[in-house]
Amino acid sequence: MLSRVKIIQKQQFVSLVDLPCRRCLSNKVSENKINKRITIRNEDTSQKTPLVCLFGWGNGKKEHIQKYSEIYEDKGHTTMIVTTTLLNSLFRISTAGARESKDVQKVLGKECSINKHREIIFHSFSNGGCAISHLTTRSILKTNLMGNIKGHVFDSCPIIPNLESSDAVERAFSQLVDIPALKPTIKVISKLLVKAVVNNNKDVKDFMKEMTESTIKTPQLFLFSKSDKLAPYQDILDFIGKRKSLGIDTTFMLWDKSNHCAHLRKNPEKYKEEIDSFVDKCITQL
């Protein structure tokens, strides 16, 4: 009977220790939902804390991005979670995607209204997040806010938007359909749409060129993997090399085995270590 009690106690101990991010349920951070795409967490009304803007991957839920947000919250930073859809970040990038980036710009402005010099870090996931963060950067390029951006983290991106990378988009859209009989039709339709967008949409065609030649000098951190089939690591290394040749402070962590946007799950300690080191470097460069 005694041994059974010990086993139960041990099981209870493990379940308590393994709570998400080891947080106490009574110590939840504040959360302010601005609209259906933007949520502010751990808000600081004095605006003295750094602000980290996390741009989620296409169709990523707030709950998915929150585990990354908590890395920054644990350091006392305020975070802004921005979600988007595959439709808006690719097929409607010039319309709905542009509107989403304008919304982000407005919220950033309000979050820096008291402290005009508030430090901001961008963290983009996959090309969905990368596209919205790029449009946001482009929209604030000639504003006072541009001086507040102190660094940019890229997780599993940027990905060259071409016909080779379109297979990932096709698979993503087919996964949204629950009826198996419709999947082949959805795949064909999405393939045609991707081809049309890649060949004809100016924002998509100019995406990598603008990203590569950007005059923004803030440090950049890249987190990616050799086994990521959606974001070829050779392309990301090439991009890093080009940015470095322009005098940009670039650092990267290249893992051997971890899936697309799953590097935190596979390598939690190293991922957090890279983030902590990068943010500490960026917010002390004043």
Q: Facing residues of 175 across strands?
A: none
Between 35 and 173, the more confident residue is 35
With 0-12 / 13-18 / 19 or more C-beta atoms within 10 angstroms meaning exposed / middle / buried, residue 217 is: exposed
Domains defined along the chain, listed by start? 31-158+216-282 (3.40.50.1820)
Stretch among 77-91, 96-110, 181-195 having the lowest mean pLDDT:
181-195
What pLDDT was estimated at residue 9?
A: 40
Stretch 112-124: mean pLDDT: 96
254 phi, psi to nearest 5 deg:
-110, 110
Q: At what angle do helices 126-140 and 98-111 cross, to 10 degrees?
A: 60
Between 26 and 272, the more confident residue is 272
What share of the chain has pLDDT > 90, as a percent? 60
* 49-101 per-position pLDDT tens digit: 999 999 999 889 999 999 999 999 999 999 999 999 887 787 777 788 889 99
Stretch 153-175: mean pLDDT: 72
Q: Does the pLDDT of residue 119 top 50, yes or no?
A: yes
Stretch 266-272: mean pLDDT: 97
**The pTM is what?**
0.83
Stretch 104-133: mean pLDDT: 95
55 phi, psi to nearest 5 deg:
-100, 110
What one-character-per-residue DSSP string does 106-122 give?
A: HHHHHHTSS-TT--EEE
* 66-77 per-position pLDDT tens digit: 999 999 999 999
Tokens 């990905």 map to which residue? Answer: 159
